[in-house]
Structure 1
Amino acid sequence: MSLKRGKKPTLLLVDDDTIIADSLEYVLSDDYHVERASDRPSSFELIGKMKESPTLALVDLGLPPDTHRPDEGLAVIRKIAQMHPTTRVLVLSGQDNKKHIFRAKEDGAVDFISKPCDIAEIKVRLKKQIIAGGGVETGHDDIEGIIGSSQEIELLRMQIRQIADSPYPVLIEGASGSGKEVTARSLHRCSSRKQQPFLTLNCAAFNGELLESQLFGHVRGAFTGATETKKGFFEEAGNGTLLLDEVADLPHDLQAKLLRVLEDGEYYRLGETQPRHASARVLAATNKDIFAAISNNQFREDLYHRLSVLTVRVPSLHQRNGDKVELLNYFMEQVAEQLTMFRLDEQALKLWNDYDFPGNVRELRNIIIRLSAKYPGQTIKPEVLRLEMSGLQRNKVKVSSENWLKNALHGSGFQLDQLLRTVEKEAIDLALREQDGNVSRAAEMLGINRTTLYGRMDRFEDKE
């Protein structure tokens, strides 16, 4: 199978087992141009040198120095997703328990092949991803991840196509869990920058100087702990796309520096006096009321006008009539690769359609994963489904919560900030315990991004 340009597709093969890597290169080289790496450092070097994104990547999780853990392979998957977002990553690994499969797919893998595997099966799975990633872009195929047929979601697809190739910033608004990052990735994939890096920086995950360093980079000795010169996200993004997630949480002093980048493209590394030029397209996302932040002097109005040259509103799930069943089928098909699927009876399906999903698509997906894990192959009745719906559970505890809060308000020395910090810390601790310390799944349970959770955990550790 050949690409439209007449060249063989490029396959990035990352495996430390020389015998397996040699065998795969031998049998796949007729159909693919194979590039090889054996560990994380060599992979990162090769990924950075590639001028064009590889069509596919086949990555082993168990890479040196600790081949019994998946951390090195997962790091490679994340790097590929950052630097070459159009590359479709498949995992070929013996570390095939459900936890590792979910983590790999969370980090950007599209398929998981368990070792040992017949070479014919590997070829079929690779060809399937070639078709999925390189087919004719019609219908919904060019807007990967935007699922649904409602009028609201069709309007979103139309907006993505219309503005994808514009050089101007885009402000993406929407409730938590509605799909703002998926929308940003679609804007990148549908643009002429799609072969360039797509990077995401969560503005709520870092504070002050550290966030400035993440954005613009720093030179050695710029601040305590700066032991080496480091590129920032603007430099790493190059001619690609940079998504500033939770942009409303950007500190006020950094808002002025971001404004300068948007106006004339100039920025400075921390500790450096020589200006640098940014050429990445900037996308910004928020689930907050920007106008309220402007009114409260928490967000610069001139920065808002620069960021919102183009604006996209991602609809909440309760606004998307008819999409809930389509999303149910989509995520069930994804999860079915690792778990035996459940079924909803007629009344449970009615409850599914009637439920508002306050956590939006993220909550819907998590409910499907939990039901699949708890009730494989079973028919789900409404009373079971209700237990997994957080909005319904919150209504049950509303009265007892009000009584508890009333007692706290009338207690001596009540401080709202202290109460909020305590509740936040206890929620984070509970989510981590519930998910056996898995930060990604705990972040999903809490309805926040993983980088945000890391930032809040660090903040609590500093105060302790």
Structure 2
Amino acid sequence: MVPKILIIDDEEHLCWALSKALQQEGYHVLTTTSPHEGLEIIRDKQPSLVILDLKMPEMDGIEVLRRAKEMQPQLPVIILTAHGTVETAIEAMKIGAADYLTKPFDLDELKIVIKQNLLITRLTTEVNFLRAELTKRYQRNMLVGNSPAIQEVIKLIDRVANSNATVLITGESGTGKEVAAITIHQKSPRRNGPFVAINCAALPEQLLESELFGHEKGAFTGATSRKLGRFELADGGTIFLDEIAEMPLSMQAKLLRVLQEMAFERVGGTETIRVNVRVIAATNRDLTQAIKKGLFREDLYYRLNVFRLHMPPLRERKEDIPLLANHFLEKLRSTYFVHRISPEAMEMLCNYHWPGNIRELQNVIERAAIICQGSEILPEHLPKELHESYYRPKELVINFPDEGISLEEVEKELIAKALQKSGGNQTRAAQLLGITRSALIYRAQKYGLLGEKAASSEQG
């Protein structure tokens, strides 16, 4: 979009000359000799930048600036002033003017000032947009759940977020450790600073050191320029060290020093870099056992384990599964146009034991959304392991008298219970009993629990 520049100056010839010069630079230019009309243009046309004369008969430039800033706080205003009113120009800068030039001014200098302020405005707009998008992204990835287990985690996060304490997050893979780290960052005073994550298991030792602390040009083969490390990039914010237990012992010693001093040198460098970073680490391993095996430094463990946060596995918070499943579906809705999960499919989701935890549930929902041709996820859209888990033999509770019952009566009662529990579905009843469907039909007919017509129609 072509920037729109408004010139407000009571000297008509100056307005004309500046308009011609700036139009040649590709700008869309509006001019007026009336401060009141200038304010109307600002309100109605919303220019990208204003060039404002400080001394005008109808209204003082300071008052025009003040009213313009009330209408459009981020609007850059360049003040034009005579030599004798520099003090007033400084006052204008305090109110919010972007810059000022004294008359007579150099046209090339004005062009440079315009370009600089338009660039600053564009970059500020982009930063605000990206920050808003990141905030939305973090909000979409905030911890979800009403179960006592996850509510306790949320309560602990609220307590630790406002401190600078180092946090160690433990839990099985896929339980949401990174989401918890993001939530701590978003609720902390550092929320406007960077959140920088690194997986310590994903890189070999030399590359991990370079990623964490950066390197100088020529530090090793392939280091063709200086590289800033994650700690340097996280200055003023939070660094998240995922899979911390996989970090080599030699790197653990270097990390310990950084945690103690908040200072380090880039690989191949001698300059000490000091940072202000909050550290959050995570692991799915038992660090106390790793210490006993000599795989993890005890002093580093105590430095990291200032505040422990344990993420519960999904099997311990099954009441959150419907909420999580619909949360993931909501994020996919605009892409796959799937709007709901059927009660039968939701029952299967709630019945499954989820060894991969929340990450597995998210993947299952996305897979089902891809497979689904309609607007509703049905049981047939779910993977076979959920079907196997749902239909595997389950305990059938039967109350018998203490004595005087035969084995045949026990068998008959079990088959009757299985058929009742499966709603008459012979295949599922057989799965509940752990026998073949043909064996179920034979025994059910033997005890008069299944008519010939029902058996043949089921077989057909």
Q: Which residue of 1 aligns with 2:246?
A: 249
RMSD: 3.5
**1:364 match: secondary structure:** helix
Q: Which residue of 2 aligns with 1:194?
A: 191
> CA 1:167 to 1:374, structure 2 compared with 1: closer, same or farther past 3 Å?
same
Residue in structure 2 matching 1:346, options 330, 343, 347: 343
Q: Distance between the aligned counterparts of 2:273 and 2:377, measured in 1?
A: 58
| Equivalent residue letter for 2:259 | L
Structure 1 residue 284 and structure 2 residue 281: aligned? yes
Q: Distance between the aligned counterparts of 2:161 and 2:352, measured in 1?
A: 33
Check conservation: 1:342, 1:376, Cα contact below 8 A: no
Q: Report the alpha carbon displacement of residue 287 of structure 1 after superposing the two structures with TM.
A: 1.1
Q: Which residue of 2 aligns with 1:156?
A: 153
Q: Which residue of 2 aligns with 1:303?
A: 300
Q: Report the alpha carbon displacement of residue 378 of structure 1 after superposing the two structures with TM.
A: 5.3
Q: Report the alpha carbon displacement of residue 27 of structure 1 after superposing the two structures with TM.
A: 7.6
Structure 1 residue 88 and structure 2 residue 133: aligned? yes
Q: Distance between the aligned counterparts of 1:272 and 1:186, measured in 2?
A: 35
**2:163 match: secondary structure:** coil
Q: Distance between the aligned counterparts of 1:378 and 1:239, measured in 2?
A: 45
Check conservation: 1:220, 1:227, Cα contact below 8 A: yes
CA displacement, residues 382-408 of structure 1 (integer Å, 9 cap, x when unaligned): 454242649959x9xxxxxxxxxxxxx
Q: Distance between the aligned counterparts of 2:218 and 2:177, measured in 1?
A: 37
| Equivalent residue letter for 2:212 | L
Q: Distance between the aligned counterparts of 1:313 and 1:150, measured in 2?
A: 15
Q: Distance between the aligned counterparts of 2:191 and 2:388, measured in 1?
A: 38
> CA 1:28 to 1:345, structure 2 compared with 1: closer, same or farther past 3 Å?
farther
Q: Distance between the aligned counterparts of 1:379 and 1:171, measured in 2?
A: 40
> CA 1:193 to 1:381, structure 2 compared with 1: closer, same or farther past 3 Å?
closer
**Mapping 1:431-450, distance limit 5 Å:** none
Q: Distance between the aligned counterparts of 1:154 and 1:315, measured in 2?
A: 11
**1:348 match: secondary structure:** helix
| Higher RCO structure, 1 or 2 (CA under 8 Å, sep 6+) | 1
Check conservation: 1:357, 1:391, Cα contact below 8 A: no
Residue in structure 2 matching 1:170, options 133, 144, 167: 167
Check conservation: 1:342, 1:371, Cα contact below 8 A: no
Q: Distance between the aligned counterparts of 1:377 and 1:31, measured in 2?
A: 47
Q: Which residue of 2 aligns with 1:204?
A: 201
CA displacement, residues 186-226 of structure 1 (integer Å, 9 cap, x when unaligned): 10010001111110011111111111111111111111111
Q: Report the alpha carbon displacement of residue 54 of structure 1 after superposing the two structures with TM.
A: 4.0
Q: Distance between the aligned counterparts of 1:28 and 1:364, measured in 2?
A: 49
| Equivalent residue letter for 1:365 | Q
> CA 1:147 to 1:274, structure 2 compared with 1: closer, same or farther past 3 Å?
same
Q: Which residue of 2 aligns with 1:80?
A: none
**1:318 match: secondary structure:** helix
CA displacement, residues 326-351 of structure 1 (integer Å, 9 cap, x when unaligned): 11121112211121216444333222
Q: Which residue of 2 aligns with 1:145?
A: 142
Residue in structure 1 matching 2:330, options 321, 333, 344: 333
> CA 1:354 to 1:184, structure 2 compared with 1: closer, same or farther past 3 Å?
same
**1:243 match: secondary structure:** strand
CA displacement, residues 20-42 of structure 1 (integer Å, 9 cap, x when unaligned): xxxxxx8898889599xxxxxxx
Q: Report the alpha carbon displacement of residue 358 of structure 1 after superposing the two structures with TM.
A: 1.2
Structure 1 residue 369 and structure 2 residue 442: aligned? no
> CA 1:54 to 1:341, structure 2 compared with 1: closer, same or farther past 3 Å?
same
Q: Which residue of 2 aligns with 1:229?
A: 226
Check conservation: 2:169, 2:282, Cα contact below 8 A: yes
Check conservation: 2:245, 2:287, Cα contact below 8 A: yes
**1:172 match: secondary structure:** strand
Residue in structure 2 matching 1:313, options 294, 310, 313: 310
Structure 1 segments of 4+ aligned residues over 3 angstroms from their partners? 26-35, 52-55, 342-347, 378-384, 388-393
Q: Report the alpha carbon displacement of residue 247 of structure 1 after superposing the two structures with TM.
A: 0.7
> CA 1:216 to 1:377, structure 2 compared with 1: closer, same or farther past 3 Å?
same
> CA 1:360 to 1:390, structure 2 compared with 1: closer, same or farther past 3 Å?
farther
Q: Which residue of 2 aligns with 1:101?
A: none
| Equivalent residue letter for 2:129 | L
Structure 2: give runs of 5+ residues left out of the alignment.
1-25, 28-44, 49-70, 77-118, 393-460
| Equivalent residue letter for 1:185 | I
Q: Distance between the aligned counterparts of 1:196 and 1:185, measured in 2?
A: 12
Check conservation: 1:219, 1:270, Cα contact below 8 A: yes
| Equivalent residue letter for 2:173 | S
Q: Give the count of matched residue pairs.
A: 286
Check conservation: 1:171, 1:312, Cα contact below 8 A: yes
Check conservation: 1:317, 1:360, Cα contact below 8 A: yes
Q: TM-score, normalised by structure 2?
A: 0.56
Q: Report the alpha carbon displacement of residue 231 of structure 1 after superposing the two structures with TM.
A: 1.2
Q: Distance between the aligned counterparts of 2:224 and 2:269, measured in 1?
A: 15
Q: Distance between the aligned counterparts of 2:343 and 2:266, measured in 1?
A: 59
Q: Report the alpha carbon displacement of residue 370 of structure 1 after superposing the two structures with TM.
A: 1.1
Q: Report the alpha carbon displacement of residue 227 of structure 1 after superposing the two structures with TM.
A: 1.3
Q: Report the alpha carbon displacement of residue 273 of structure 1 after superposing the two structures with TM.
A: 2.4
| Equivalent residue letter for 1:371 | A
Q: Distance between the aligned counterparts of 1:276 and 1:265, measured in 2?
A: 8
Check conservation: 1:367, 1:389, Cα contact below 8 A: no
Check conservation: 2:348, 2:387, Cα contact below 8 A: no
Check conservation: 1:53, 1:195, Cα contact below 8 A: no
